[in-house]
Amino acid sequence: MTTVVDVDLMADLKKFGATDVSACFSCGTCTAICPLADDDATFPRRVIRYAQVGLTDELLGAKELWTCYHCGLCSQSCPTKADPGEFMATARRYAIASYEPTGLARVIYTRPKLGTVVAVLVAAFFALFMLTQADLGGIHSPTLALFQFVPSELVHWLGVGTMVAMFAAGAWGVVRMTRALARRDGVTWADVAGSRAALRRSAAAAWSSLGVESLGQRRFREDCHDDQPAEPLWRRRWLVHALTIWGFLGLFGATLIDYGLELAGIKMTGTPIPLWYPSRALGTVAGLSLMYGVTVFLLSRWRRWTPAHATSTGSDWLLLTLLWITGCTGFVIEVALYAGQPPVWGYWFFLLHVAVAMELMLMVPFTKFAHAMYRPVALFFYALARDRVR
Ligand code: SF4
Ligand code: SF4
């Protein structure tokens, strides 16, 4: 196999925020202190070495990028101030931009002002598109009739189109990443699904990746020492992260329940429902969970509560702001829905809510949100490799 050396790799990485890791002399202090290093005597410094010598393919095929939770312990102990924790975060940004096919992630990460302009334009496009079909004058309803304002079919098909675009870009990135990881680890299709034993191993690795780590946050919760008892529970990073994920998934579940009820002919979209109705109750609890997580993350980045939040990129702020606007406008609409006399502002908040939610969905493969796709893949390979070592 030919090894390609990219002499511009370090310079390129710096555009994504890396501190100067050329000072790293591979002393191993970061490995000794990292709570996630396990028996890997080269984690995380091997990835730094790839960057130093210009091994782009090796860097992009390193599952270690995604097994780091950026607790920052290594950066605090590095004798040369190479900031390995921030380097790992930078390398993940670089990987997201390298996996996706359009170049939009690179713009968002390396030209944050332009990225923000693009984000505002995309949201404006969604809002204006819906506005061309909206009809506020023709509504004569005692409650907020959101889907008389914007037809539910329009919102539905706009959502389907956005999801298709998001899945296409996301699937492209996941396939590229999977191929890079498999090549570097020497994992073949036969290793994953070539026999019953292989399928059993893969199922166990998938459970470890998705169930135990992604949803259960096991290592983040148990091993990452930035969550020492001194850190108040309400702002421990694993908990805030978990509440954000569960809130997001809960909202997705509430949407699916609503859709299922419509398909079953039990409830039509837009029909007024009480607060205790399953999809509304789940949506409210999940929305509160999401808002809590996103608000604490915003405060943490603003006040720099943890080493992971000492440095924030434009993309970090963009993603959290979009999430916060989506959650907040969702609750404003809920208040308007149960107000006695339907307020006109409820309709405008609905337009803003749907436009930003669509944009958020479309942006998944191009922002930090993409780690929700890539980290489980890396954790799957990590679990497979651990199983092979045993
Ligand atoms: S990043 Fe710092 S602590 Fe880690 S090997 Fe390099 S010099 Fe040592
Ligand atoms: S930031 Fe924490 S988890 Fe990541 S490599 Fe450093 S010590 Fe390990």
Rounded to whole angstroms, the Cα distance separating 278 from 268 reads: 15
Ligand 1 and 105: CB distance under 6 A:
no
Pocket test for ligand 1, best of 30, 42, 90 (most atoms within 8 A of CB): 30
User: Which tokens sit at 297?
Assistant: 């993350």
Flag whether pLDDT at 128 surpasses 70. yes
In the block, residue with structure tokens 């670089």: 94
For 155-164, write each residue's pLDDT tens digit.
989 999 999 9
Pocket test for ligand 1, best of 19, 21, 26 (most atoms within 8 A of CB): 26
Confirm or reject: Cβ of 34 under 6 Å from ligand 2.
yes
- For the stretch 23-47, pLDDT in tens is 899 999 999 999 988 877 888 999 9
pLDDT at 226: 54
Q: Is 164 in the pocket of ligand 1 (CB under 6 A)?
A: no
pLDDT value of position 307: 82
Please tell me if the CB atom of residue 41 comes closer than 6 angstroms to any atom of ligand 1: no
From the candidate CATH numbers 2.120.10.30, 1.10.10.10, 1.10.150.120, 1.10.1060.10, the one assigned to the domain spanning 9-99: 1.10.1060.10
Q: Which atom of ligand 1 is nearest to the CA of 31?
A: 4
The pTM of the full predicted model, rounded to 2 decimals, is 0.91
**Which residue owns the Cα nearest ligand 1 atom 2?**
78
pLDDT digits (tens, 9 = 90+) for 67-82: 999 988 899 899 999 9
What average pLDDT does this structure show over 343-352?
Answer: 92
Please state at what angle helix 84-99 crosses helix 371-389, rounded to 10 degrees.
Answer: 110
Phi, psi of 368 (to 5 degrees): -60, -20
From 29, 34, 76, the mutation candidate for ligand 1 (largest count of ligand atoms within 8 A of CB) is 29
What pLDDT is stored for residue 317 in this prediction? 93
Does the Cβ of 286 fall within 6 Å of ligand 2? no
Can you tell me the mean pLDDT for 215-233?
78
Percent of the chain with pLDDT over 90: 69
82 lines ligand 1 (CB under 6 A): yes
pLDDT at 228 over 60: no
pLDDT score of 329: 96
Residue 389 has pLDDT above 70, yes or no: no
Instruction: Give me the residue spans of the domains in the chain.
Output: 9-99, 111-389
Q: What is the pLDDT of residues 170-200, one digit of tens each?
A: 999 999 999 999 999 999 999 999 999 999 9
Average pLDDT over residues 249-271: 87
